[in-house]
Amino acid sequence: MDTQSLQAFMEVAESRSFSKAGERLHLSQPAVSKRIAVLEEQLGTVLFDRVGRQVALTDAGSTLLPFARRALQDMEDGRRALSHLSGKVGGRLSVGTSHHIGLHRLPPVLRAFTGLYPEVDLDIHFMDSEDACEAVVQGKLEIGIVTLPTLPIPQLETARIWADPLAVVVMPGHPLLQLRQAGLSDLAAHPAVLPDEHTYTHRIVTEALQAHGIHPRIRLATNYLETLKMLVAIGLGWSVLPCSMVDETIRPLPIAELSMQRELGAVWHQRRTLSASARALLRQLQAS
């Protein structure tokens, strides 16, 4: 039984799809199917029921799942521990980050890091910060570079890297810009497009507004900040975005009573040994 077959099994089990598992593993669907077939032959049992496009674990698959997860995690922990012991900065480093951080914060850090440590193979996954934190907890990623959780997650260590001030933004020519001094009550009278309710950014924004008794009329929500910027620019509503995103397509709207900020940084698992590559990346981030 090899780790590649177990990894394919884990990905199919979690995504309930051979094609999605292939995308995550950068393999074709037939290659994933072959690995599962090899594993089923070795174990002498069927692990998945395949009915049309639906994929479900059999009883045998459900029984194997926690053992497979533990075996893969033990192998990964062993690899990281050996890397830590040797002190050699190289090998695979799995990192999760949000699209916004990947676009606006990470490029200079990664450019410097790869120049200093060319033997590191960066395995970067772009995802929501909340999903990246969960993947670190589960051991799928070694480090997350994310919007830091608004409430502590017991299994995670965190390091603040960047302050990310937020601003209310509107399209040029928005009626709110015509007011001498816009207030919170004025915001409530106009529709908003805000970060998705499952994101840390949404919690920061809504808690700040609700502290003043303001419940915004949300026309649309999405977890992609670049999409929100576009929606504001075409006039679908006001939003709250990082100040760093303000340009000629949108305008900041000062609200005296409102001050909001996200904290961006790194997260890693409390109980797992960081590889030498992960520790080097953390040093690079803290020096940025």
Average pLDDT of the residues in 101-108: 94
Average pLDDT of the residues in 13-17: 89
More confident residue, 152 or 75: 152
Please give the share of the chain, as a percent, with pLDDT higher than 90: 62
pLDDT at residue number 256: 84
pTM score: 0.75
- Give the closest residue to 258 by CA, choosing from 224, 211, 197, 221: 211
Residue with tokens 């590889």: 275
Using alpha carbons, list the distances in angstroms from residue 127 to 100, 116, 239: 10, 26, 21
Give the H or E element holding residue 18: helix 18-25
Q: Is the pLDDT of residue 116 over 70?
A: yes
Spatial CB neighbours of 2, under 8 Å, sequence gap ≥ 6: none
Spatial CB neighbours of 239, under 8 Å, sequence gap ≥ 6: 168, 169, 192, 193, 194, 228, 229, 231, 232
State the pLDDT confidence band at 87, using cuts at 50, 70 and 90: low
Give the H or E element holding residue 176: none
- In one letter, which amino acid is 251? R
Contact 259, 198 (CB under 8 A): no
State the pLDDT confidence band at 4, using cuts at 50, 70 and 90: confident
Alpha-carbon span 34 to 32, nearest angstrom? 5
What three-state secondary structure class fits 214? coil
**163-262 CATH pick, 3.40.190.290, 3.40.50.1820, 3.40.50.720, 3.30.70.120:** 3.40.190.290
Return the half-sphere exposure (C-beta side, CA atoms, 13 A cut-off) of residue 57: 15
State the pLDDT confidence band at 83, using cuts at 50, 70 and 90: low
- Give the closest residue to 187 by CA, choosing from 167, 201, 158: 167
State the pLDDT confidence band at 75, using cuts at 50, 70 and 90: confident
Annotated domain spans of the chain: 1-69, 163-262
Return the half-sphere exposure (C-beta side, CA atoms, 13 A cut-off) of residue 248: 0
What three-state secondary structure class fits 63? helix
Spatial CB neighbours of 259, under 8 Å, sequence gap ≥ 6: 208
Q: Is the pLDDT of residue 86 over 70?
A: no
Q: Is the pLDDT of residue 92 over 90?
A: no
Domain 1-69 of CATH type 3.40.640.10: no
End-to-end C-alpha distance for the chain, whole angstroms: 43
Class of residue 15 by CB neighbours under 10 A (exposed 0-12, middle 13-18, buried 19+) = middle
b/e burial code for range 220-236 (CB count within 10 A of at least 16 → b): ebebebeebbebbbeeb
pLDDT at residue number 54: 82
